[in-house]
Amino acid sequence: MVTDKTIFRNQGYEVNLQALEEEDLLEWAKKNRIEEAYRFIYLPTFDPPEIIRVWKVEGEIAELQAIFKQGSGQGGGELGEVENEVCWQPVASDWTGLLAAIEQNFWEPPAWKGEVNRDGSEWIFEGCRQGHYKRLESWSGRDPYACTLGQAFRRFISDELADREDFVFFRGVRGDRLGKIIYDYLEAGQCVKALQLAQTHKSDYIKTWALEDMVFESWAEFRQEVKLEILVQATETANAIRSSLRKAPILRNIALKYIGFGQLNRALQVAQSIENPYYTAITLDYLCERYAEQGQTEMSDRIRTQILQVARQVQDNAQSYHLANIVQKHTKLERLDYKLSRLLTSWLSVKLPQ
């Protein structure tokens, strides 16, 4: 993801712009007094680079313009010059449809999740609206937002270009199809079905995206009975994540949501399944207090012992520092319980008849 064009420039991006005779989008828009413009840059591994740029010229009668360019290089760093170029005036309905996809998938999300596996084709999306510039990118359309947006640009191609038989435009712009289906289910409010599909997806990225960016960010909008159904499936989906570091904060979040419903035992099961000792400790700490508030002192004492045990397993210095107050608090309480137990035993030995 890139939002600041002055910081995140990369050489491949600049070189491809020059080869395809394109300018910096924001500077071009300012120079030509364009209030709104968008560009999709598609850089495949083995095929020529392609660009589509669309914009709206304000005036007494607003005018829509679009241009498609294809390079002559064959990917893999081979650029070449512009080989195919088509300009056209889009109809208003096509522009409206594209804007709806851009608004929902480009402007609304503040960012897209970073992708660890940065290989395959590079998809770069840029937008300029009333002087505000934004740039986001994905690799091979793995991000469902990018997948949806790339397909929207692909459908925007003019009939003149689509009817040509000499080449196939945006041949690889299909993206992650299962990710797109998951996205559509989430947009339709079918979160349990979406999470079931995400659980089967081979990518941890899709699972964490579906849980964190889509389900949990919309949590307040769900009805209570729906939330409980979602939590059951969310637990299964989260446990399917291979990376323990990605999985841990999600399971902690699920445990806290169960606590919010008063389901402490279910929350405890989730907390104890966390493989990262740091997240286990901070989740159990919150649970320990809730059990104590309900007068379940025996369970609270058991959890306190677990907290002190898992805290010893934390090796990261920053995490250990953050846990220091928690460990100190429970150590003092455990010592106090021990002293009270000894006093009670001593008192009973005096009071009880010999």
For every residue of 241-297, DSSP letters joined together read: -S-HHHHHHHHHHHHHHHHHTT-HHHHHHHHHT---HHHHHHHHHHHHHHHHHTT-H
- What DSSP letter does each residue of 289-310 carry, written as one string? HHHHHTT-HHHHHHHHHHHHHH
**Residue 306 counted as domain residue:** no
Nearest to 237 by CA among 265, 214, 264: 214
**Coil, strand or helix: which one is 54?**
strand
Render pLDDT for 196-227 as a digit per residue (tens, 0 to 9).
999 999 888 889 989 998 899 889 999 998 99
| Cα distance between residue 17 and residue 19, in whole Å | 6
Specify if 94 maps to a domain: yes
User: Would you write out the chain's pLDDT as a tens digit for each of its 354 residues?
Assistant: 334 333 333 445 677 677 788 899 999 999 998 989 999 999 888 778 889 999 998 766 678 999 998 887 665 555 567 888 888 999 999 999 999 999 999 999 888 877 766 777 889 999 999 889 999 999 888 888 998 999 899 889 877 776 666 656 777 787 778 888 998 899 899 999 999 999 999 888 889 989 998 899 889 999 998 999 999 999 999 999 999 989 999 999 999 999 999 999 999 999 999 999 999 999 999 998 899 899 998 898 888 888 888 888 888 888 888 888 888 887 776 654 544 344 334 433 444 455
The structure tokens listed for 85 are: 């170029």
What's the pLDDT score for residue 165?
Answer: 63
Domain contains 49: yes
Could you tell me if 152 and 104 are in contact, meaning their C-beta atoms sit under 8 angstroms apart?
no
Inter-CA distances, 70 with 53, 168, 327, Å: 12, 11, 61
pLDDT score recorded for residue 15: 72
pLDDT of residue 204: 87
**What integer pLDDT is reported at residue 58 of this predicted model?**
78
Which residue is listed with tokens 């499936």? 233
Q: Is 47 exposed, middle or buried (0-12, 13-18, 19+ CB in 10 A)?
A: buried
128 occurs within a structural domain: yes
Residue 114 resides in a domain? yes
Residue 338 lies in a domain: no
Best CA proximity match to 243, nearest among 279, 192, 195, 190? 279
Query: Is 42 contained in some domain?
Result: yes
Residue 99 near residue 35 (C-beta atoms within 8 A): no
Q: Count the neighbouring beta carbons within 10 Å of the beta carbon of residue 31.
A: 10
**Domain count for the chain:** 1
Instruction: Judge if pTM exceeds 0.75.
Output: no
Read off the pLDDT of residues 250-291 as tens digits, 9 standing for 90 and up.
999 999 999 999 999 999 999 999 999 999 999 999 998 899
Q: What range does the domain containing 121 cover? A: 1-175
Model pLDDT, residue 248: 95
CB 310 within 8 A of CB 284: yes
Residues whose CB is less than 8 angstroms from the CB of residue 193 and which lie 6 or more positions away in sequence, other chains included: 185
DSSP assignments along 303-345, one per residue = HHHHHHHHHTT---HHHHHHHHHHHHHHHHHHHHHHHHHHHHH
**Lookup result for tokens 């599909």:** 197
Q: What is the pLDDT of residue 75?
A: 57
230, β-bridge pairs: none
- Confirm if 70 and 168 have CB atoms less than 8 A apart: no
In a domain, 63, yes or no: yes
